[in-house]
Every structure is written in C-alpha cells, then in structure tokens.
Structure 1
C-alpha cells in the first residue's frame, strides 16, 4: 500500500510541477481571497482524473500484460521533458515554468474559478498521459486509493502555492531543481507500469 501511495504521489507531483507556477500566479492575483482559486483547481484536476479513469476503463478489455504498454506514455513525456530541460533547445523552452509567463493567464482582476479550472484542464495533457496507464494497471480498490491520494495532493498543492506566495524567494530553487527531477520521476513511473503488468515477459518472453 505504501508503495502505491508513493507512486501516486510521484505521479501527481511529476505532472503538476508546471501547473504549480500557474497556480502561484492565480493565488498572488487573488490577494488573500484564494477560495475561488482552490475551487477552480479542484474542479479542473478532478475533471482530468475523471477523464483518465474513463479512458483507463475502456482499456480494461486488453489482454493481461498489454496494459503495461501504456507505460511508454509517461516514459515518452519524461524523455521529452529531459530534452526540453537539458537538451540543445533548453533556452528556447525554458520559459514554460516562468511565473511571469504563467501570469499571462491571469487578468487584471481576480480570475474566476472556472478560469482556474480551464487552465488546469488545458495544461493537463501530461496528467492524462501518466494517469491513464496508472489507473489501467491497477485493481478497482487500488484505483480508489490512487484517487484519494490525488484528491489529497490537490489540497496540498493549493496550500503549498499559498505558502510559496508568502515566501517568493523559494520559487527560484523550486523551478531549478524541481523541473530537473521531473524526467526521472516520469521514467520511474513508466517503468513501474511496465514491470507491474509483466509486459516485457508477455511481449518478448523476458
């Protein structure tokens, strides 16, 4: 159970680092009135979870072992993020987690909850790519636990954003080291999905 909780926490954190900086902009914009930001973040994140559960349910008809092929999705996302972070185009793509860029989502006044939700959903392609194989490769009871962890992590993410807004100097090291760990976390999640479904043995006899 603890390993599954750790996997779910890692999946959530790895796919929501970028969104954290957008969330920081919304919280800063709200100037203490953060209720609508939290509602919007929950609404958008829960919508992504529901989409992932629905897609995973459609894949349950796959033969045992083949579900693990979906592990290539988080691995692919991790490799792409590694190239963006460390590759030749690092400087060209390095503004994705810049709070100043994230601020373009925030208008001159406090944003509505549905604006926050819409941005969370729009930034959710990575979430879907990681959540679907995670849900598809586990039992219904495990999926319930994963969902509960995700719901708790949404609250932690909102609380963390509020705390960081009050300590703006901490944003720079989080951007520097947090994004550097993203590719590794995603690669581990993808490999875990493949291993748990015994996919290499089913496909290649390994």
Structure 2
C-alpha cells in the first residue's frame, strides 16, 4: 500500500512538473556563467514550489470543510485544467510560460516563474490532498520536496544537453493535458 502511494506521489509530481524541466534547464543554462547562479536557481525553485505546496495544502484543508458528497467534484478542476491545456496546445499557446525567462535569473525570478508555471499544479494537488488522510498528505509533501531536488539535478543535466531539452519542449505540452484529464477523471470515478 505505501509503495503504491509513493509511486502515485512520484508519478503525480513528474507529470505535473514535466514542463518545469524545460524552464529549469533554461534557468540553469542562463545561470551557469555566474558565481552562485545554480544555487540561486535551486533556492528559487524551492521557494516557488514551496508556495505551490502551501497553497495546495491550504486549499485541501479548506476543502475538508465541504460535505463529503461534494469532494469528488473537485476532480472537475484538474479535468478542466487539462482540457484548457489541450485547447492552448491545439491553439498554439503552449510556450507562453517558457518565454518568461530573463538573462541572469535570481532567486525571486525563479520562484515567481516556478509558481506561475505551476499554478495548474495547485488545481491538481488540492483535490488529491483533500481526499488523502493526514499521513498520506505528509507523505505526498515529503516526496514532492525530495523530487524537487531531483528535478533540479535533471534540469541542470538538461541544460548541458540541448537535444534533450528540445525534445521535452516539443512533447511536454502534449503529455500534460492528457495526464491532467486522467487525474480529474480518476478522482471523479474513484470517489464519485
């Protein structure tokens, strides 16, 4: 059971943050020439992702005040976000967030872009967190924080491999809508 939950947490983190790998790779590429630049990118990533987690946990705790019959309908949020992301991809707007980079990113710049780029993550995390028990919620948060470090390592690796970064940029926007719709449907069907 715990191994399945760890896998679910890791999978949810990976699919909701796949687009963040491209952004991190860009930031690491821009920060490489500056002393302490990579450390600023990591700090900004944690600050921004920490804000996403805080907003998600707060939203989930607020959702705990909802009647139990209403909670499954929180699955509509990731479903709608997935459909919106699919629509934006189809209409050609998938690169909007990636254009928000600057030449030498600082901690606050990375945090702001991470938070803005991960705003849809909140919509996915809140219903999942709201339906999880306290122990499971804590496990999700810990796994997400550990995987944020892994994402930083992978982003730094990608910054030195342009062909890999190009492939992620090309296909990440296709995978994300599919996964969001899947998460939304799973919440609706599992709890509805």
In 1, the alpha carbon distance for the partners of 2:69 and 2:146 equals: 30
Q: Distance in 1 between matches of 2:96 and 2:19?
A: 7
Give the whole-Å Cα distance in 2 for the aligned partners of 1:173 and 1:182: 14
Farther off after superposition, 28-37 or 140-149: 28-37
**Corresponding position of 2:81:** 77
Partner in structure 2 of residue 3 of structure 1? 4
Report the count of equivalent residues. Answer: 188
TM-score normalised to structure 2 length: 0.88
Where structure 2 has 5 or more consecutive residues not aligned to the other structure, the ranges are none
* Alignment-derived partner of residue 62 in structure 2: 58
- Deviation for aligned residue 1:7: 2.6
Equivalent residues in 2 for 1:3-152 (5 A)? 3-31=4-32, 33-85=37-89, 87=90, 89-90=91-92, 93-96=93-96, 101-102=99-100, 105-107=101-103, 110-152=104-146
Kindly state the Cα deviation for residue 131 of structure 1 after the two structures are TM-superposed. Answer: 0.9
Spell out the pairing of 1:170-181 with structure 2 (5 A cutoff).
170-181=164-175
- CA–CA distance in 1 between the matches of 2:180 and 2:95? 20
Give how far 1:2 is off.
3.0
1:17 and 1:178 in contact (8 A); partners too: yes
RMSD: 1.9
Counterpart of 1:160? 154
Contact 2:19 2:172 in 1 (8 A): no
Q: Which runs of 5+ in 1 are unaligned?
A: 200-206
Partner of 1:203: none
* Residue pair 2:94, 2:173 contacting (<8 A) in 1 also: no
